[in-house]
Amino acid sequence: MRKLVTALGLLALLGFPGWGQSQRPKVVATFLPMYWFTKGVVGDRADVEVLVPPGMSAHEYQATPANARTLAQANVVVMNGLGLEEFMTGLLKNVGKRNLRVIDASKGIQPLKEEGHKHNHGHDHKHGHGHSHSAGNPHVWLDPVLAIQQVNNIRDGLVAADPPNAPVYKTNAANFIKQLQNLDQEFRNRLAPVRGCKFIAFHDAFPYLAKRYGLQQMAVVELPEDVLKPQDIQRVKSAAQKFPVKALLSEPGVDDKRLQQIAQELKLPVRTLDPLERGELQSDYYFRVMRQNLATLEAVCK
């Protein structure tokens, strides 16, 4: 018995401190989509925290000392990957924790190339800089089928990290995947009549979703960070005429007079499509907002 206890203690030291002991293990997700997916798999078997606070985007996020402290206390970190979390490079290097397991939720997913490779979002907080991802477009969580693959990767990583709780993780993941499968079927059924619909976006977030359901994100239009010039309006107008669209797709929280000006020039409405990067922690938020996105696409494409 003493030998068994000693062996278990040694495994704990070599593995994850607190995992399977009285102290609850800690899992850290980089930003909201990874938090929702991880929480869905973990359930109540571990504490899950998110590094990028709700309301902020991982694209522009700058790591803080508090983030480093959080990672230093974590057993597992779950990342989207595909070059999205640039802020994590320095964090992981500085933490230097050999037994911190890093789960790449996009493992095995073939990325699409980014449209134009660099984009200015035109957000109302005026950060004014574009971003690019050399690994390809990272917005895979917006495709429910690829989201299933991400959940599978998260499940497998947690099972490897914490074998005693593997049955729970597998059951939770299966339940979460069932919800994603139902969501995928809703998208297929409701968007089938509008296959081939073209749209223009101001954020290159939706090519995976468009490809999955037979839609076409035809262009990602950059906006200047200050005052619209006639050539800016003409550029958007030319794209709208080349790819006949019924609306301009903006994002939640963007109260941008420039978009409204362009919409008036083109006599098109501005609709909201949510990339799910700045939402809320509630467990059902992903599914609620994805269904809102479905309704938006359905209305725009009819």
DSSP 15-82: S-TTTTSSSPPEEEESSHHHHHHHHHHHTTSSEEEESS-TTS-TTT----HHHHHHHHT-SEEEE--T
Amino acid at 205: A
Q: What is the pLDDT of residue 202?
A: 77
Least confident of 15-19, 110-114, 136-140: 15-19
Which of 96, 154, 58 is closest to 50 using CA atoms? Answer: 58
Indicate whether 224 pLDDT > 80. no
Does residue 178 contact residue 48 with C-beta atoms inside 8 Å?
no
Does residue 218 contact residue 243 with C-beta atoms inside 8 Å?
yes
Does residue 286 contact residue 33 with C-beta atoms inside 8 Å?
yes
CA separation for the pair 96, 222 (Å, rounded): 39
Indicate whether 124 pLDDT > 50. no
Query: Which of 88-92, 182-186, 228-232 is the most confident on average?
Result: 182-186
Q: What percent of the chain has pLDDT over 90?
A: 54
pTM: 0.84
Indicate whether 22 pLDDT > 50. no
Indicate whether 92 pLDDT > 80. yes
Q: What is the pLDDT of residue 212?
A: 97
Q: What is the pLDDT of residue 297?
A: 94
b/e burial code for range 167-178 (CB count within 10 A of at least 16 → b) = ebbeebbeebbe
CA separation for the pair 229, 185 (Å, rounded): 43
- For 18: left if phi > 0, alpha if psi spans -120 to 50, otherwise beta; the answer is left
- Please name the helix (run of DSSP H) or strand (run of DSSP E) that holds residue 7, with its range, or none: helix 2-14
Residues whose CB is less than 8 angstroms from the CB of residue 35 and which lie 6 or more positions away in sequence, other chains included: 29, 48, 50, 281
Residues whose CB is less than 8 angstroms from the CB of residue 6 and which lie 6 or more positions away in sequence, other chains included: none
Q: What is the pLDDT of residue 176?
A: 98
| pLDDT interval class at 249 (50, 70, 90) | confident
Q: What is the pLDDT of residue 192?
A: 97
| pLDDT interval class at 225 (50, 70, 90) | low
Indicate whether 267 pLDDT > 90. no
Higher pLDDT, 122 or 25: 25
Q: What is the pLDDT of residue 115?
A: 61
Tokens of 90: 């320095």
**DSSP-based three-state secondary structure for 298:** helix
Indicate whether 196 pLDDT > 50. yes
Q: What is the pLDDT of residue 128?
A: 36
